[in-house]
Amino acid sequence: MHAVSSNGANIPALGFGTFRMSGAEVLRILPQALKLGFRHVDTAQIYGNEAEVGEAIQKSGIPRADVFLTTKVWVDNYRHDAFIASVDESLRKLRTDHVDLLLLHWPGSDVPMAERIGALNEVRNAGKVRHIGISNFNTTQMEEAARLSDAPIATNQVEYHPYLDQTKVLQTARRLGMSLTSYYAMANGKVPADPLLTEIGGRHGKTAAQVALRWLVQQQDVIVLSKTATEARLKENFAIFDFALTREEMAAVRELARPNGRIVNPQGLAPEWDA
């Protein structure tokens, strides 16, 4: 598996995401993911499964240094003291003395951006976090975060799939030295049944889902999170580095984007998205 280098962070291009996974599901499927070869694991305070993620990694037999571990601070914890305490709690749950990447989960908050970014830098300077990042930020907020931070911002984790054009966010990320980490790559179940993706997959002996994942990681500076609770789909998601899409196929998938392609847009948390 290749890795994406962004502002000093070397992030495995394919990650295992745990959004909406119960603790029991994490304990069942994450050990299989690690055994298969996944080395990038993504969780968050609000997911409620950090403890199980930590347990699975600790019991996997894989050295902690070989696993790139990401978690995210929830918006209720953005005030300085709550932020620091929440990171310490996350580390306890994750059974580790540091995470490889810590993100601000959503931009929606009345806490000044400077306070949030300052807290990110503080935990990084304390050695609790190797790299810092953001999630669900628009391009203006990306610029602001980069300007306010002493440490480089490694990534912006956002919704990204064939039906949502994220060109502006990706261009801004590249200019700032960041990567873009894609979540919701399956577009809430739309991808596996897509006729074009299925047709392209047929040429390569791959599924529509594999085509979408490949399309994402084949783009410069893009990382993708895959998520499943089934072992068969786990193996399918992992097998995306033994083929490549042609330039024409990449362009054809890009044409699937549409103005109403966004799925995740929670009121009060989401920013005003780039047009």
Question: What CA–CA distance (Å, rounded) separates 62 from 54?
Answer: 12
Structure tokens at 219: 């783009």
Q: Is 204 annotated as a binding residue?
A: no
Distance between start and end Cα atoms, the chain? 33
> Tokens 């571990």 map to which residue?
69
Structure tokens at 5: 């280098």
CB 54, CB 95: distance < 8 Å: yes
| CB burial string 139-154: b at 16+ within 10 A, e below | bebbebbbebbeebbb
Checking DSSP bridges between strand 153-159 and strand 129-135, what pairing results, if any?
parallel
Q: Which entry of 47, 160, 183, 184 is annotated as an active-site residue?
A: 47
H or E segment to which residue 100 belongs = strand 99-104
Active site residue 47: yes
Q: Detail the residues annotated as belonging to a binding site.
A: 105
Active-site residue set: 47
Binding-site residue numbers for substrate are 105
